[in-house]
Structure 1
Amino acid sequence: MGRLTYYPGCSLRHSAAEFDISTRLVLHKLGVDFVEVPDWTCCGSSPAHMTDHLLAQGLAARNLRQAATVGDEMVAPCPSCYQRQKDAELEIEEDPGFRQTVNEVLDLPYEGSVRVLTLPEVLLEKSGVEAIRRRVTTDLVKLRVVPYYGCLLGRPSSLTGEADEEQPTSMDRLLEAAGATVQRWNYKTECCGASVGMPKAEIHRRLSRKVLDQALEAGADAVAVACPLCHQNLDLRQVQINAAFGSSYSVPILYVTQVLGLAFGYSDEEMLLHKHAVDPRPLVAKAIKEAVAFREEEARLASEHEARQKMKEAAKQDRARRRAGRVPSTEEGGAAPEEAVPATSAHDREEEAAG
């Protein structure tokens, strides 16, 4: 049907509402048409896919079938949801026998016609960097961020199609197009420990602490994510990390769509910044204020430079005119021109001789 469907999943509907709302607003601002998957259900991550393969693929296949009733593409902003739907899409497409097995447990069959996409894919394919730049109304040049992809957004490449699992660039390009200053770092895809946050808290605290350390070392003021689990682990659990290590981290963790939304002129309230454990609003306000001052100073310096260039050009043209008239200027070391001697007539000369 040529239409994009939107699968929010359980997290975006509840604990990650700010990701859901900011995503919808950004897609709307960019003119990306979409419709929510009708009567969607849980994708099966993680309980189902860890215990029962057929159940996991059946849950995902049902969502794909529901999406197929209104479109032929699905965006799943949550990387875990994306992984489950994408894995089912590929297995059902490549294995007719398994497709038949799955369809036997569905109330209505799914024949395999929906392409599953990540949110960065949709933003870059359906809109693009230039379109994003054109929508920017709030300058975020003084907001220094690092993009954190986590484990699932680009891995494994056999599933996601990511060209470089260790150094992906999709979020970098989105953040740069929004006008933020993207800091370079080598911790883009290191695990934050979200998957062991409950059973092995010590491990998750150590891994998350390393991510925060590396972000600060890279010169970032904030970390941009596109995963509800990564956001929860790095934002909500900073208090636990500080208690465990005697540290004082206070690093705002923003969804990439919140950064885009702020750049597009949406307010703090519309981006639900108040829902964060580490309040990003003071940082955002400071960055916007500094950006205004920076642009004013930039404009002042540019104006002064232009004035100096005009003066140099005027002096250059003046010297050229003097040379063309063979009248050297005193600043070039030439002598002042001699006064012209008036010519005498023949009658005057005769009178002078007679006298």
Structure 2
Amino acid sequence: MATSPETEHPVKAFGYAARDTSGTLSPLTFSRRATGEKDVRFKVLYCGICHSDLHFIKNEWGFTTYPVTPGHEIVGIVTEVGSKVEKFKIGDKVGVGCLVGSCRSCENCDIDFEQYCPKQVLTYGVPNFDGTKTYGGYSDHMVSDEHFVLRWPENLPLDAGAPLLCAGITTYSPLRYFGLDKPGMKIGVVGLGGLGHVAVKMAKAFGAEVTVFSTTPAKKQESLVGLKADHFIVSKDEKEMQSVAGTLDGIIDTVSATHPIAPLLNALKAQGKLVLVGAPEKPLEVAAFSLIMGRKIVGGSNIGGLKETQEMLDFAAKHGITADVEVIPIDYVNTAMERLLKSDVRYRFVIDVANSLKAE
């Protein structure tokens, strides 16, 4: 008989979990492993809600096993450390993002690209190396190998900083890797949601001239005044799109809905780069000549390794970058998911776990 979530490990834990494809979240008692010699255990203070959480709890990607406790934008305070932990002590503020494990020996791990390790362990909903399932940050505490725990900068707010552990690194990493981080570069950001608004802030902090592309004209003021973008283009307006033809060094495309990319490629200069961080369901159509005639590149990027994620947190703290958040109690989480589905949030929900999650 299969071991229950409550009894597979020795340390009792409590959180919210979905139990079927309805995605409805409700209280769950489960368990976490004892603190190993290289482990850090911490009390969860805040956890951001990522759109991936919504996909996962509804099994929209086809590999969810229930029950599943989501959450991979987790910040908290250390309560216990293993005997061989070197980087952390009790009382430290820490974060855990999308990964809690990797093989640590493959070619990708060797160059600090753990996010591309074929044996990576996601923070929730997948088998860990011991065969038990991972549970995320919609819970009272976490335990992780110290390699996957991040030092929290002292001047970075915990609540508004939590989403940086996914949205922040997802947008920072491609700007850095594809060389779009130089002052004076002209960078486009497609979509102004949880990822997009952070992408604007990151690009501005690198000294870029930023153009926001959105299908929603009402977001113009928000982009130009609230986020200090330099230009705003309604992507459905052919005249506006033509006005930026051949002007951009790079574009970060955060949109997960199906959308045409030919007009975006047209906005790039020669040698320009279109980097996808959103994941539309349908395959993209790319005309070969739209790439060949300008030696343009369509690429993709997925979060970042642990070294780069720490670098991103320190960069965000230095430049005052946080997500725009709505802080909620955990018993509001199902309503938050409904609102997220309708894009009714500016721009990220963050659960106040410590003050609202009470074990039954």
TM-score interval for Structure 1 and Structure 2 normalised by the shorter chain: under 0.3
Question: Which protein has the bigger helix share?
Answer: 1
Question: Which protein has the bigger strand share?
Answer: 2
- Structure number with greater Rg is 1
Q: What is the TM-score of this pair, normalised by structure 2? A: 0.25
Q: Which has the higher contact order (CA 8 A, sep 6+)?
A: 2
Q: What is the TM-score of this pair, normalised by structure 1? A: 0.25
